[in-house]
């Protein structure tokens, strides 16, 4: 057994962390072990505090340490902890499904629960394929995604990877994939600098024409292109994608795992932009991360096809043991109540603009490239290309260094595609003073990085 007194103080080396080699975290001195959270703050085992600049992977909308949510979880466990969700329903699952239908677009009236976001994407993909199968268009086997996109790590969701900078799906999928990539840069109007990192409706249309629309089952997009450098497509882009899909009989999957439930100053970005998707994929802030849960909302058009035809074809043979978990559903319902009672969705707009202006003040740094956002979802781009990465050698290496420097200064954040876009997505309860602290830390970290260049 090995000791890691600097970070862990526990004799263990058994945990393998996501997206790492088995020993990477331990060779760096051992993982930081977090033991407590309150509001926007996290505390490690040694008592050091960190500002949570990414809301626990964009999930924790209402902040850490919400006793209301833990109390609801305990109460539901006492009443009914778990059931066979394949054949029976719990009251929280029924209520949550109805609430999601109430707050979403009018055409979305059916909900399929999953344990998380990747699984919710999987549901949408399988339903899309089966929808066309039932309708007799069995050649529709292609899914088109944006350049730089990330939609999850299950085998279906991996097919929707847009060559995200930190994935290696060529290893897992090999040549056997149904995903196709609409390559950028986006050329439509209103994009800004984020257009360099992703594709827009025009590029999707070109890809549809290349493949032949009769072979395309669905298009999947995050309306803010979050993983693709927080590219921030203009609202018209999603509307054009809806029109493209309607023209060619293609289904539209809108992935709002990150953007949903107030993050962008609205309940759902697709709703704000006036777009009705065929599938709305949700997770993360649905429960603020307090319980693992995801949901796929399904359009009436899709449900109608599954309600007719050959019974052996229209059964959706898919499910998750923990989909619609009664405790997760109860916590999600209470989380939605908090979002509503405290008007956190509205606050994301005003706080998001405040943070944006603060981030723009960092433009005095020679490494600064751009700051863009929708609500409280921000991307800060630095070092415009590998050729200016200096001693780091690449913008990706510089991004890793900057992320760790921010952490050492007391701010937890992460990097997005292509490795030099810093993400900020704090809990929606963040105060202006805490935003000031976050930006001050980034300011110092950029200064330190520029001295190393």
Whole-number Å distance between alpha carbons of 128 and 419: 32
Task: Report the candidate in 299, 377, 358, 336 with the shortest Cα–Cα distance to residue 131.
Answer: 299
For residue 207, the surrounding DSSP H or E stretch is helix 201-211
Task: Report the candidate in 119, 140, 120 with the shortest Cα–Cα distance to residue 128.
Answer: 140
Q: What is the pLDDT of residues 289-302, one digit of tens each?
A: 999 999 999 999 99
11: pLDDT strictly greater than 90: no
| Cα distances (Å, whole numbers) of residue 265 to 230, 331, 439 | 15, 22, 20
Q: What is the pLDDT of residues 77-131, one digit of tens each?
A: 999 999 999 999 999 999 999 999 999 999 999 999 999 999 999 999 999 999 9
Q: What is the dihedral of CA 124, 126, 127, 128, to 10 degrees?
A: 80
Domains present along the chain, CATH in parentheses: 32-62+343-452 (3.90.1150.10), 69-341 (3.40.640.10)
Instruction: Evaluate whether 376 touches 348 at the Cβ level (below 8 Å).
Output: yes
How large is the average pLDDT for residues 73-80?
Answer: 98
How large is the average pLDDT for residues 334-356?
Answer: 98
Which has more confidence, 122 or 30?
122
| Cα distances (Å, whole numbers) of residue 380 to 130, 159, 391, 417 | 40, 28, 21, 12
Per-residue pLDDT at 7: 52
Per-residue pLDDT at 183: 98
Instruction: Evaluate whether 325 touches 293 at the Cβ level (below 8 Å).
Output: yes
177: pLDDT strictly greater than 50: yes
* pTM (2 d.p.): 0.96
Per-residue pLDDT at 3: 43
What is the C-alpha end-to-end distance of the chain, expressed in Å? 38
How large is the average pLDDT for residues 190-207?
Answer: 97
CB half-sphere exposure, 439, CA atoms < 13 A? 23
Mean confidence (pLDDT) of the chain: 95
How large is the average pLDDT for residues 158-163?
Answer: 96
């Amino acid at each position: 057994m090995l000791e890691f007194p600097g970070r862990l103080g526990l004799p263990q080396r058994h945990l393998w962390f996501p997206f790492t080699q088995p020993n990477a975290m331990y060779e760096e001195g051992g993982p930081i072990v977090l033991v407590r959270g309150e509001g926007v703050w996290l505390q490690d085992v040694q008592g050091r505090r960190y500002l949570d600049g990414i809301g626990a992977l964009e999930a924790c909308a209402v902040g850490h340490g919400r006793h209301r949510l833990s109390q609801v979880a305990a109460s539901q466990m006492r009443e009914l902890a778990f059931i066979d969700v394949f054949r029976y329903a719990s009251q929280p699952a029924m209520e949550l499904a109805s609430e999601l239908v109430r707050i979403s677009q009018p055409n979305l009236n059916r909900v399929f629960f999953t344990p998380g976001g990747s699984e919710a994407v999987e549901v949408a993909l399988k339903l899309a394929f089966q929808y066309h199968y039932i309708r007799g268009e069995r050649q529709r086997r292609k899914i088109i995604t944006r350049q730089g996109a990330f939609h999850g790590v299950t085998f279906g969701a991996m097919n929707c990877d847009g060559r995200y900078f930190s994935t290696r799906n060529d290893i897992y999928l090999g040549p056997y994939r149904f995903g196709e990539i609409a390559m950028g840069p986006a050329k439509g109007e209103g994009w800004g600098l984020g257009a360099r990192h992703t594709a827009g409706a025009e590029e999707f249309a070109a890809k549809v024409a290349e493949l032949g629309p009769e072979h395309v089952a669905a298009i999947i997009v995050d309306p803010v292109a979050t993983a693709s450098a927080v590219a921030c497509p203009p609202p018209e882009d999603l509307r054009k994608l809806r029109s493209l899909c309607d023209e060619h009989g293609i289904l539209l999957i809108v992935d709002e795992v990150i953007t949903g439930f107030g993050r962008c100053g609205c309940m759902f970005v697709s709703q704000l932009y006036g777009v009705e998707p065929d599938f709305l994929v949700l997770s993360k802030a649905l429960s603020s991360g307090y319980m693992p849960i995801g949901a796929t909302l399904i359009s009436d058009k899709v449900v109608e096809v599954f309600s007719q035809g050959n019974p052996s074809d229209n059964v959706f043979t898919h499910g998750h043991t923990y989909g619609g978990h009664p405790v997760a559903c109860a916590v999600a319902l209470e989380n939605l109540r908090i979002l509503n009672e405290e008007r956190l969705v509205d606050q994301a707009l005003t706080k998001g603009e405040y943070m944006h202006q603060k981030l723009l003040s960092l433009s005095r740094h020679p490494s600064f490239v751009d700051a863009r956002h929708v609500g409280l979802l921000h991307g800060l781009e630095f070092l415009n290309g590998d050729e200016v990465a200096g001693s780091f050698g690449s913008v990706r290496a510089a991004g890793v260094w900057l992320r760790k420097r921010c952490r050492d200064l007391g701010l937890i954040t992460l990097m997005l595609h292509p490795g030099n876009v810093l993400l900020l997505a704090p809990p929606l309860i963040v105060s202006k003073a805490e935003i000031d602290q976050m930006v001050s830390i980034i300011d110092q970290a950029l200064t330190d990085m520029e001295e190393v260049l």
